[in-house]
Amino acid sequence: MAKTARSNTDTTDITDVSATEVPNGLRHKLGDAILGLVLRVPGSSEREVAQPEKRARALGRTAARKAGMMAGSLALPPGFLGWLTIVPELVGVWKLQAQMVSDIAAVYGKHATLGREQMIYCLFKHVSAQLFRDVVVRVGDRFIVKTASLGFIQSAARLLGVKVTQRIIGKSATRFVPLLGAIGVSAYAYFDTQQVAKTAIELFAKEIVLDI
C-alpha cells in the first residue's frame, strides 16, 4: 500500500448531528458501544481468494440473515420490555457486522491494513456519510484513507450514538406491537447489514492509499 505524509482529521470536522431531545443514557451507551467496537478490529479466518466479490457477497448475505434473526428475536418482548433489548440488539448486530467487514477485507487481501477508520466508515457510512467526508475519500479508482485522531473517533462514535437514537425514537411505535415490531426490526437489521456489506465491498475492491 502506498503511504503519504501524516494527516490527522480532527473533531472540528463533525458538525452535522444535533443531540437535541435525545435521551442521554441511551445515546451515551450506544456511543460507548460504537467506540469499543471500532477500536478493536476483529481477526478473520477468511483468506484472500481469486474471486473476492463472489465470496464477499456470500459473507454479506450470511451476516444479514444472522443479524435479522438476532434483532427479530430480541425485539419480541412486548411493550417496555422491548425497550430493554435495544442496546443488546444493536451491539449484537454491530458485532456481526464488524466481523463481516473484517472477513470481507480478508478475502480482498486487505485485512492486514484494516484499521479503525475503515471499520467505522464501513459500519456507519450509510448512517451519516457527511461524518466521514474527510476520512475516506474516493479519488478515481482509489480510496484515500486518512489517519483520524482518537478524539475524532470518540466524537464520531458519540454523534453516531445520537443519530442511531434518533432513528430508534422515530420507529418506537412498532416496538409496542410484539409481532409487528419483531418483523420490522428484523427487516431493518437485514437491510442495514446489506448496506454495510455494500460499503465494504466498494471500499476493499479498490486500491486503498493510507494517508498516515
Question: pLDDT of 78-98, one tens digit each?
Answer: 555 555 667 788 889 999 999
What is the mean predicted confidence (pLDDT) over 2-29? Answer: 50
What's 160's DSSP letter?
Answer: H
pTM (2 d.p.): 0.82
Question: Helices 86-107 and 52-74, interaxial angle, to 10°?
Answer: 170
* C-alpha to C-alpha distance for 184 and 64, rounded to whole angstroms: 14
Total domains, the chain: 1
Q: Is the pLDDT of residue 207 over 90?
A: yes
Could you tell me which residues come within 8 angstroms of residue 139 by beta carbon, excluding any fewer than 6 positions away?
Answer: none
pLDDT in the model for residue 87: 78
* Most confident segment among 73-82, 90-99, 174-183: 90-99
User: Is residue 121 classed exposed, middle or buried when 0-12, 13-18 and 19+ CB atoms within 10 A define those classes?
Assistant: buried
Question: In which domain, by residue range, is 105 found?
Answer: 3-14+23-41+50-211
* C-alpha to C-alpha distance for 52 and 37, rounded to whole angstroms: 25
